[in-house]
Structure 1
Amino acid sequence: MEQFSPSDMKTILHSKRANMYYLEYCRVMQKDGRVLYLTEASKENQYFNIPIANTTVIMLGTGTSITQAAMRMLSQAGVLVGFCGGGGTPLHMACEVEWLTPQSEYRPTEYLHGWIKFWFEDDKRLQAAQQFQTARIDYLERVWSRDKDLKGEGFSIKDALLVAPFETFYQRTEAATKQSDLLLTEAQLTKVLYKYAANNVDISDFTRQHQSTDKANDFLNHGNYLAYGLAACCLWVLGIPHGFAVMHGKTRRGALVFDVADLIKDAIVLPWAFICAKENATEQEFRQQILQKFTDHKALDFMFDTVKAIALQDYTAQQIEEHGL
């Protein structure tokens, strides 16, 4: 069988790739030039092909193993691999998100250079964080305005209950003088969105708990980690290390993953976690729903566009204009 070259494997841009996989109780291996996963059935073993050239992220959950040959092919195709616990929740969730990233010396350097130009200056890093927050809410408004399924479930950006909180968010984000101001404003709005979503689906007394076992919290955790996978993929492709965060502080080595994932979490993961909990969906049904919505609303494209715009922005020219110099 003809072997693909590494360049052939990467013909589909990461921002356009359709697949993310969460696998459990299987063995991932290379066979006849393809990457497969093997499940052990009662009577016979079953092999399933993974179209790696059209895959962004593979999450390996409980009971999985992977061969060196499979990792080599995944690396050639630019697929990120993450080891996680059951249900897609990483084992190291208390510390940071960990991804095994393909090693390539030919990724672009312009985005890292652009990021470094502003990152070491507090005022410019704050400005980038404000842009992240504004982009996040703009995306939420766009998704909630266009998604007919969300509208059918009663989610409306024009709801009277959301008008004042969004106005407050924009005002406080613009007036913020440090990252902690932005984090507080973000937390206050997210709390409002949790309450709004819970009321929409008639879930009473909802409390966000990362270690909880109720379905809404479980689905929020699972959906968030899918978003972390997309964010890690975006940053790897652009060549920006995960430690150069603008929102979550300098002390967390994977913090920029959280910053980028936040761009899409409230817009997509949050409402569908509650809707699927109301419908008593299975974990797989929820995951399929989230991945479909990521595709429908071009979540990965949005991440790439936002990060690239912030990295290549001319902050010096903008400061000169703002201060009239």
Structure 2
Amino acid sequence: MEALTDLKAILHSKRANIYYLDKCRVMQKDGRVLYLTEAEKQNQYWNIPIANTTCILLGTGTSITQAAVRMLASAGVLIGFCGGGGTPLLAANEVEWLSPQSEYRPTEFLQGWVGFWFDEAKRLHTAKQFQIARLQYMKKVWGKDRDLQQAGFHLDDPQMESLLNHYPKAVAQAANVGHLLQHEARVTKQLYKIAATCTKYGEFVRTRDGEDNANAFLNHGNYLAYGLAATTLWVLGIPHGFAVVHGKTRRGALVFDVADLIKDTLILPWAFICAKDGATEQQFRQQCLQAFTDHKALDFMFAEVQRAALNQSWDELDDCAEITQP
């Protein structure tokens, strides 16, 4: 039996797997973590490669043993309980994460983060940098992803050009986080319109109830992004409550901030494309996971959070020329 200490260490930013499981039992057997599914004639066991897994979402009809949790924790795998399709069934806005505990996680990133977080001006500066970083990531991904380009997502589209030109200026001029959130909401609404037009989806109104396929896919994909964001913050040792955009009153708000770095770039367009093509929920999820891998989404999240924690320059907070460069 392979000992826990024999597991090969794989950086979380390089791990390949996110699992969503439902109607099964997760257990430890012969030194491995397995999930058991019940078929009509026989039960089937499937292995989970925990050393290469970032997080596991446990949906409806699932259970997990204490031994399995111990092994997952030793491998640094995040465990989340959720409703069907990765979205909570109740009125909660976030997955409740059971974080593996370790006394040896790094402290430098937490110390760097709290070093600026209690200063409102510095917090706003970081929020602006996050907004510019997500826009730069979109330009990079949409500029080279042929599948998205074939679906009609082009940077030289007049509406996109206008957005790319005006949003950095609006970010630089935002006087507080409230103004920043207003600009962000307007941009996201514009992106919904652009996506609906590119895919010929028709009229679209964003609702959290998932009344149509595009809304359902957006909900589902966003929770996948939250999984990556939660993984990033746990590995770096930064508590989820130290948000820079979404407010200090939401316990998991920093997860939303970090997830926003990739949501508009990867989740939003594929939600509309898959909805228009009549894809299943599983097909959409697989497409999102492939996009995360192709465009190194987790690496990007790690890099931006590390940069914000350690590489801040506070000499010219009022001069946002640096972050407005393309």
TM-score, length-scaled by structure 1? 0.95
Aligned equivalents of 2:95, 2:46: Cα separation in 1: 27
Identity %: 64
| Alpha-carbon separation, structure 2, partners of 1:159 and 1:53 | 42
CA contact (8 A) 1:10 1:77 kept: no
Aligned residues: CA RMSD: 1.5
Does the CA contact (< 8 Å) of 2:125 and 2:317 recur in 1?
no
The structure 2 residue matched to 1:66, chosen from 60, 64, 67, is 64
Contact 2:109 2:309 in 1 (8 A): yes
Over residues 97-156 of structure 1, what are the superposed CA-to-partner deviations in whole Å (9 max), with x where a residue is unaligned? 321111011000000000001100000000000000000010011110010100111101
Distance 2:127 2:251 in 1: 17
| Counterpart for residue 100 of structure 1 | 98
Partner deviation per Cα, 1:167-187 (whole Å, 9 max, x = no partner): 221111000110011111111
Shift in Å, 1:90: 2.5
Could you tell me whether the CA contact under 8 Å between 1:227 and 1:264 is conserved in 2? yes
Residue pair 1:56, 1:79 contacting (<8 A) in 2 also: yes
Aligned partner of 1:196 in structure 2 is: 194
Q: Does residue 313 in structure 1 map to residue 276 in structure 2?
A: no
| Correspondent of 2:85 among 84, 87, 91 | 87
Which residue of 2 is the match for residue 151 of structure 1? 149
Cα offset for 1:308? 0.0
SS at match of 2:152: coil
Change (3 A) 1:53 1:92: farther
Match of 1:16 among 14, 17, 20: 14
Mean alpha-carbon deviation: is it higher for 244-253 or for 154-163? 154-163
Aligned amino acid, residue 3 of structure 2: Q
- How far 1:94 sits from its partner (Å)? 3.2
Give secondary structure in 2 for the equivalent of 1:48. Answer: strand
Q: Distance in 2 between matches of 1:316 and 1:206?
A: 42
**Partner of residue 293 from structure 1, selected from 291, 294, 302:** 291
Kindly tell me: are residues 25 and 97 of structure 1, through their superposed partners in 2, closer, same or farther at Cα, counting changes over 3 Å?
A: closer
Give the count of matched residue pairs. 320
CA distance in 1, matches of 2:61, 2:152: 39
Give the Cα separation in 2 of the matches to 1:93 and 1:282: 25
Whether the 8 Å contact between 1:197 and 1:274 is mirrored in structure 2 is yes
Residue 42 in 1 paired to residue 71 in 2? no
Q: Which residue of 2 aligns with 1:56?
A: 54
What pairs up with 1:1-325 in 2 under 5 angstroms? 1-5=1-5, 8-9=6-7, 11-91=9-89, 94-319=92-317
State how far apart, in whole Å, the 2-side matches of 1:255 and 1:93 are: 16
Paired with 1:304 and 1:10, the residues of 2 have a C-alpha distance of 21
Tell me if the contact between 1:34 and 1:49 (Cα under 8 Å) persists in the aligned partners.
yes
| Counterpart code for 1:42 | E
Per-residue CA deviation, residues 206-261 of structure 1 (Å, 9 max, x unaligned), is 00001132110010000000000000000000000000000000000000000000
Q: Which moved more, 1:152-161 or 1:105-114?
A: 152-161
1:26-74 Cα deviation digits (max 9, x unpaired): 0000000000000000000000000000000100001100000000000
Unaligned runs of 5+ in 1: none
Whether the aligned pair in 1 keeps the contact of 2:81 and 2:95 (CA below 8 Å) is: no
- Kindly state the Cα deviation for residue 314 of structure 1 after the two structures are TM-superposed: 3.6
Mapped partners of 1:4, 1:95: distance in 2: 34
AA at the equivalent of 1:125: R
Q: CA deviation at 1:205?
A: 1.4
Q: CA deviation at 1:202?
A: 1.4
Query: What TM-score results when the alignment is normalised by the length of structure 2?
Result: 0.95
